[in-house]
Amino acid sequence: MRHEVTEGHMLIGNRQQPVAMMAPPSAERIAMPRGVVPRQPARTGRQDRVRQVRVKPPVSASRKATATHGPQTSGTARPATKASIKGKIRGYNPLAPERVAEILKRLDQLYPDVTCALTHASAWELLVATILSAQSTDVNVNRVTPELFRKYPTVEAFAALTPEQLEPDVRSTGFFRNKSKSVVGAARKIVADFGGQVPDDMDKLLTLPGVARKTANVVLGTWFKKAEGVVVDTHVHRISRRLELTTENDPQKIEQDLMKVIPREKWILFSHQIIWHGRKICYARKPKCVDCPLENLCHAGDKTWSTVDMHKNAKA
């Protein structure tokens, strides 16, 4: 079979068939029809992410029971964590008489006969020791006072001194210049206005240099057995806030709050008990909550170990 090509036709056998001739290439580019162009990768290099649909895992029977009936308590304690710190529970009253009575009962069991730890043999010695104990420890003060009272055995002996003469004897207690002025000033006023006897009245004690309500309450309660107020030192300040017996920071306001909830016959002993508790267990840093008999009554936000919910505002 012959195949001959003439212009526009091709001879196939005995018949001529028209054929389309390809146009010669030209310098002018032929525009192609625009179609759907796939989206190009972003210039930042990030590709389009496929949207993923998260499927929730099936809830187990135990979780359903917990959601329905609440968590089951195993009786074991847990370390204090931020997750367990909550606001106050609705209906919870930290000043409820039953709760306060239980706190006092446990303190009585723990510290039945405690008293002031400052060594003293008279109202004057107790007054001096209490003044020296500011910003110091009772242990340190008890190292200083025996020699001090041996050297100056009476109020009149202190009144005859100048503050500068007393400074070397009390230097180790800290703030010795202010303390020397207070002790000598108090001695002179007691000799001049009270016949050399420490007064047993709150208002009169507050007229002495260096004596505020804390010192006056220590002397009245410990020596004269008069419950005129509650001693608020650093331990009472810290623990009464942790126990939510007060929300105040000012010592006088804390004292007023404690006087409202603690029975008057307990004021003196309560102060001593809380002070001892602060020395032995409820430290300012890292309190020994695991050993504390008050632990399940305490919701302090800075506990180190807890079996109860903690309240974020209840802390030292």
Specify the 3-state DSSP secondary structure of 112.
coil
CB 307 within 8 A of CB 296: yes
Query: Stretch 263-270: mean pLDDT, rounded?
Result: 97
CATH code of the domain covering residue 159:
1.10.340.30
Query: Stretch 85-112: mean pLDDT, rounded?
Result: 87
Is residue 129 situated within a structural domain?
A: yes
Q: Find the helix or strand (DSSP H, E) in which 259 lies.
A: helix 251-261
Separation CA 95–CA 243 (nearest Å): 9
Regarding whether 294 and 245 lie in a shared domain, the answer is: yes
Regarding whether 287 and 147 lie in a shared domain, the answer is: no
* CA dihedral sign, ordered 132, 137, 140, 143: positive
Q: State the pLDDT at residue 44.
A: 57
Separation CA 243–CA 219 (nearest Å): 26
Query: Stretch 143-162: mean pLDDT, rounded?
Result: 98
Regarding whether 165 and 97 lie in a shared domain, the answer is: no
Regarding whether 185 and 128 lie in a shared domain, the answer is: yes
Regarding whether 109 and 166 lie in a shared domain, the answer is: no
As given in the structure block, the two tokens for residue 43 are 């210039």
Confidence of residue 86 (pLDDT cuts 50, 70, 90): low
Is residue 37 situated within a structural domain?
A: no
Regarding whether 241 and 187 lie in a shared domain, the answer is: no
Is residue 26 situated within a structural domain?
A: no
- Distance spanning both ends of the chain, measured CA to CA: 113
Identify the residue whose tokens are 């367990």: 84
Task: Say whether pLDDT at 52 is over 60.
Answer: no
Separation CA 67–CA 85 (nearest Å): 20
Task: Say whether pLDDT at 106 is over 90.
Answer: yes
Least confident of 74-78, 201-205, 247-251: 74-78
Helices 123-132 and 138-151 meet at what angle, rounded to 10?
A: 130
Regarding whether 133 and 106 lie in a shared domain, the answer is: no
Is residue 63 situated within a structural domain?
A: no
Is residue 118 situated within a structural domain?
A: no
Q: Which residues are catalytically annotated? A: 214, 233
Average pLDDT, the chain: 84
Is residue 10 situated within a structural domain?
A: no
CATH code of the domain covering residue 96:
1.10.1670.10
- Give how many domains the chain has, as a whole number: 2
Confidence of residue 91 (pLDDT cuts 50, 70, 90): confident
Q: Among candidates 268, 273, 280, 283, which has minimal Cα distance to 238?
A: 283
Regarding whether 87 and 137 lie in a shared domain, the answer is: no
CB 196 within 8 A of CB 155: yes
Separation CA 157–CA 180 (nearest Å): 14
262 vs 52, more confident: 262
Give the end of a domain, one of 150, 173, 197: 197
Regarding whether 262 and 131 lie in a shared domain, the answer is: no
Q: State the pLDDT at residue 65.
A: 41
Taking only the tens place, the pLDDT of each residue in 159-209 is: 999 999 999 999 999 999 999 999 999 999 999 999 999 999 999 999 999
As given in the structure block, the two tokens for residue 157 are 């002996």
**Confidence (pTM):** 0.72
Regarding whether 130 and 260 lie in a shared domain, the answer is: no
Give CA separation, 115 vs 98, 112, 217, in Å. Answer: 26, 10, 13
Q: Among candidates 296, 298, 293, 127, which has minimal Cα distance to 214?
A: 127
Is residue 220 situated within a structural domain?
A: no
How many residues can be counted in the chain? 316
Is residue 283 situated within a structural domain?
A: yes
As given in the structure block, the two tokens for residue 191 are 């000799």
Q: Which domain holds residue 102?
A: 80-113+230-311
The CA-based angle 88-94-100, given to 5 degrees, is 160
Q: State the pLDDT at residue 181.
A: 98
